Amino acid sequence: MRYALLVQGAPYSHQAAHSALRFASALIDRGHRLETVFFYHDGVYNAQRLATPPQDEPHLVEAWQRLHHEQGTALLVCVAAALKRGVIDERESRRHGKQGHSLAASFELTGVGQLIEAAMTHDRLVTFSP
C-alpha cells in the first residue's frame, strides 16, 4: 500500500511527530511504501534546521531526513503555516527581505494542494495531531 502522513504536532511538544516516525518505520518494515509526509500547523517545526535537541533525545529533524534519503519520501511543508512560524527557505527569505533561512535540507515548502493530492492519490492518509 501507498501511504501519506499528515503531521500537525511540533516535535518535543507533543507525541504526534514521534508517533508518526514510529508508524513510518512500522509501515516500511511491513513492506508498505511511505511516499509523502505533509507537515501542517505546528508540525512545520519538524522542518526547522536549527533544532538542536539534547544528545539523549531523538533528533526528529534528522530522522525525517533519513527517511527521505533512504526511502525517497517527500517531506512537504505547508508554506503558509511555515512562514507564520518563521520556518522559511532561501527563496522565501529573499522574497520577504529576511537575512537567513531555517528550512532544513530535504524538506520542501509547498501549498495545501499537495496535501489534497496526496489524499486523492495514496491508498491511505494517516493524521498525527496533538
Query: Could you give the residue numbers annotated as active site?
Result: 78
Give the burial class of 32: count Cβ atoms within 10 A of its Cβ; 0-12 exposed, 13-18 middle, 19 or more buried. Answer: middle
For 102, the grid coordinates are 531555517
Would you give the DSSP letter of residue 104? P
CA distance 73 to 84: 25
CA 115 to the chain's CA centroid:
12
Q: Are strands 124-128 and 107-110 parallel, antiparallel or unpaired?
A: unpaired
